[in-house]
Amino acid sequence: MAIESPDGLASRWGRLARSLAALGIVASCAGCILTQDLPDPALDVPQGYKAARLGKPGDDPPTLDWWRAFRSTELTQLMQEAQIVNLDIAAAVARIRQADAQARQAGAALLPSLQGSGSEAYSRTSGSSASGLSIGGREVVNYNAALSASYQLDFWGQNRDAAQAAEETSVATRFDREVVALTTLATVANAYFTVLASQDRLRIAQGNIASAERVLGAIRDRFKAGTGTDLDVAQQESVLGNQRALVPPLRQALEQNINALAVLVSRPPESMRISGGTLNRIAIPRVTPGLPSELLTQRPDIRRQEAQLASATANVGSARAQFFPSIQLTGQGGYQSQALSSLFQPHAAFFSLVGSATQPIFDGGRILGNFEFAQAKQDELLQVYRKTVVQAFSDVDSALVAIRETTRRLQLLRDVLSSARRAFELSEQQLRAGTADIIVVLNTQQTLFQAEDAYSQAQLARLQAIVSLYQALGGGWEPKMERSVDAL
């Protein structure tokens, strides 16, 4: 048997490498040809929002730090802290790392697999012969050092589509992180405004209790003077008791919302301190909705569904490629010798090259079922994508309507409150003068108390409507994101 020279081995390995490279280029090009485009969602994008009277086409979308428009230092501090320490956002970042790792795993199939091995085998033959005579056994030592490589020609794009599906899933997790962050920030803002509203309502309740006590004192004075009745005193005591009974649930709501803020910024409630203040000091920003078409890039949930649809589309291509033959190339080369000193000599070299093709013939419908499942999943995500877009348009319009109507209601309640306060002051003056009807005093008193509380709740509703519009417009994140599995 002739021993091939090292130059001959090098030449043979060089030809093999060039062949593999050429086949790899062909395979990658074939994958490019078979890669599917995203299905047409057939969306009906409106020209403008039905309730868009707050802005005009060309207005800029919300800024990244949209919460600063409320001019609250404490709110800004809570927002910044939530972005850093919120546990839901941290979990979303961990999901990004998971998706990146899975994308790398899927992409590994596009590259050759290379393995090195080395072994030392020691064996001894039996010392017994066929005639029963005992002879010396033979001891054999065999050393082996080898390098093996395998590569699947992705001629039909199966591995490439699978890798693309994993990469799009990784992109979707990035947008999911932005969805979680936007939801978290909106929740922080709403909780903080609810804290302020609870503090306002508590102050109003305390003021109403003081007013009811003054009226009760005046009625008792009339009763002592003989111009009032015991029924008048009992009715006012009932009014005072009802006002006092409103305080515990308001305090409960205040503490619960402070605890909710503590969870959002990952603090125990015992270490959470909220100064708060009043809703009257919160600035009312002007939010411009812009064009509906901008939502397709502004809203992170739309971008997430788009990436998931792209992943499902790539999975369809990967599932289709399973119908075609699988072409595998394997090679092994190295050195084998019974003496360690001569292991790496030219005469100890060996190699083997194997090319194989496997064509599915009958698998009980497994491949067909997988392909149909991938198609159905793609159709499902297409419908979810369409619904997400339609829901986004609806969210913006609903928020615009809420801002318009809560603003109008607040203006009306401001007039009601002014009239109720004036009526109560007049009735209280008449009560002290001894000329007021007690029923009129009770009615004006109740009307004022209800108007003050309703006005405070209307202030909260308008601020929450503005936060909803910021959230509906996808405010607080950067639309131009890198679609790379390496970028965080």
Distance of alpha carbon 38 from alpha carbon 294, whole angstroms: 20
In a domain, 286, yes or no: yes
Question: At 208, phi and psi to the nearest 5?
Answer: -65, -35
Residue 17 has pLDDT above 70, yes or no: no
> Can you tell me the mean pLDDT for 401-413?
95
Query: Taking each helix axis from N to C terminus, what angle separates 6-34 and 300-321, rounded to the nearest 10 degrees?
Result: 120
Per residue in 343-368, pLDDT (tens digit) is 788 888 888 889 889 898 988 899 99
- Does some domain include residue 437? yes
Q: Could you tell me which residues come within 8 angstroms of residue 308 by beta carbon, excluding any fewer than 6 positions away?
A: 168, 169, 172, 381, 384, 385
Q: How many CA atoms lie within 13 A of 339 on its CB side?
A: 4
Domain count for the chain:
1
Q: How far from the centroid of its chain's Cα atoms is residue 487's Cα?
A: 16
Separation between Cα atoms, residue 468 and residue 287, nearest integer Å: 11
Instruction: Read off the pLDDT band of 129 (50, 70, 90).
Output: low
Answer whether residue 132 is part of any domain. no
Residue 205's CATH number: 1.20.1600.10
Q: Per the domain annotation, does 123 fall within a domain? A: no
Mean pLDDT over each residue of the chain, to the nearest integer: 84
Boundaries of domain holding 235: 35-111+154-324+359-472
Query: What would the pLDDT profile of 61-93 be if each residue is shown by its tens digit?
Result: 677 889 999 999 999 999 999 999 999 999 999
117 belongs to a structural domain: no
Quote the strand ranges of 322-407, DSSP E.
326-337, 349-358
How many CA atoms within 13 Å lie on the side-chain side of 420? 21
Residue keyed to tokens 């793609």: 378
Q: Tell me, yes or no, whether 288 lies in a domain.
A: yes
Task: Tell me whether residue 479 is in a domain.
Answer: no
**pLDDT tier, 295 (very low <50, low <70, confident <90, very high otherwise):** confident
The average pLDDT across 412-440 equals 89
CA distance 228 to 237: 14
Is residue 483 in some structural domain?
Answer: no
